[in-house]
Amino acid sequence: MLLALKALAHHSEGASLDALARELEAPKSSVHRALATLRRAGFAEQDDRSHYRLGTEFVRIAFEYHERRDEVDLVRPVLLSLADWFSETAHYAKLDGSEVVYLAKIEPAGQAIKLTSRIGGRNPAHSTGIGKALLAHALADADAVRDYV
């Protein structure tokens, strides 16, 4: 059943029972039973062409779960990839007025130069790379820049 659910995620426009059975390399009767169970739970829908796709209940619980996750948990895999790829420290920070606040930090193994930034630490936004990037995004026009300066 979970494999059928996973297969539906690859077909935003929907997929026929035949196509899903081929993709899953499973008998149509088994896939049909799984889809019927998913439909009863609201995790799958069947349209007028008899194509199946993810149901609104699945989307609802997926977003509910995602929205309740801590933002640091969400960015940690990206920070790990960045630190590994560039062999540099990767930060996640937010603007708080004219300062950046560091919320997460990943240092690659064996890095010779260690940054003194710390989670919860603050620096003037204009004096850090991440601060400049955040300011560039936050200050969308000349008036916003004048107000900031």
For residue 96, the model assigns a pLDDT of 92
For residue 69, the model assigns a pLDDT of 77
CATH 3.30.450.40 domain span(s) along the chain: 71-148
Q: What is the pLDDT of residues 25-73, one digit of tens each?
A: 999 999 999 999 999 999 999 999 999 999 999 989 988 887 777 888 8
Question: If you average pLDDT over residues 86-105, what whole number do you get?
Answer: 92
What's the mean per-residue pLDDT of the chain? Answer: 90
CATH 1.10.10.10 domain span(s) along the chain: 2-66
Question: If you average pLDDT over residues 1-27, what whole number do you get?
Answer: 94
Assess if CATH 1.10.10.10 describes domain 2-66: yes
For residue 45, the model assigns a pLDDT of 96
At residue 64, φ and ψ (nearest 5 deg) are -60, -45
What H or E segment, with its residue span, contains residue 129?
A: helix 129-138
For residue 32, the model assigns a pLDDT of 97
Find which of 2-11, 103-112, 138-147 is predicted with most confidence, using mean pLDDT: 2-11
- What 3-state DSSP class applies to 71? helix
Band of pLDDT at residue 115, cut at 50, 70 and 90:
confident
Contact indicator for 130, 93 with CB cutoff of 8 Å: yes
Question: If you average pLDDT over residues 110-136, what whole number do you get?
Answer: 86
Rounded to the nearest 10 degrees, the angle between the axes of helix 28-40 and helix 17-24 is: 110
Assess if CATH 3.40.50.300 describes domain 71-148: no
Question: If you average pLDDT over residues 14-35, what whole number do you get?
Answer: 96
For residue 44, the model assigns a pLDDT of 96
